[in-house]
Amino acid sequence: MKLPARVRIYEVGPRDGLQNEAQLLSTNVKLEFIARLAAAGLREIEVTSFVSPKAIPQLADADELMTRMPRDNGVRYPVLVPNWRGMERAEAAGARSIAVFTAASEAFTKANIGMTVDESLAAFRPVLARAAQQGMWTRAYVSTAFGCPYSGRVEPARVIELATRLLDLGAEEICLGDTIGVGVPSQVHEMTELALGAGLSLDQLAYHFHDTRGTALANVVAGLEDGVTCFDSSTGGTGGCPYAPGAAGNLATEDLVYLLDAMGIEHGVSLEGVLAAARYIADALGRPLASKVGQAGAFKPSGERV
Ligand code: HMG
Ligand code: MG
pLDDT tens, residue by residue, 115-158:
999 999 999 999 999 999 999 999 999 999 999 999 999 999 99
* Mean pLDDT of the 62-71 span: 97
| Ligand 1 contact, 20 CB (< 6 A) | no
| Ligand 1 contact, 110 CB (< 6 A) | no
| Ligand 1 contact, 85 CB (< 6 A) | yes
User: 8-291: which CATH topology?
Assistant: TIM Barrel (3.20.20)
- Residues 220-247 pLDDT 10s: 999 999 999 999 999 999 998 889 887 7
Contact at 8 Å (CB) between 174 and 140?
Answer: yes
pLDDT at 299: 84
List phi, psi (to 5°) of 45: -130, 110
d(CA 96, CA 172): 14
| Ligand 1 contact, 239 CB (< 6 A) | no
Q: How far is the CA of 146 from the centre of ligand 1 (A)?
A: 23
d(CA 2, CA 140): 27
| Ligand 1 contact, 58 CB (< 6 A) | no
pLDDT at 305: 62
Regarding pTM above 0.95, the answer is: yes
Q: How far is the CA of 241 from the centre of ligand 1 (A)?
A: 13
Q: How far is the CA of 27 from the centre of ligand 1 (A)?
A: 20
Q: Whose CA is nearest to atom 24 of ligand 1?
A: 52
Q: How far is the CA of 176 from the centre of ligand 2 (A)?
A: 10
d(CA 88, CA 259): 39
Q: Is 175 a catalytic residue?
A: no
Q: Which residues contact 298 (CB under 8 A, 6 or more apart)?
A: 258, 271, 272, 275, 305, 306
List phi, psi (to 5°) of 209: -105, 125
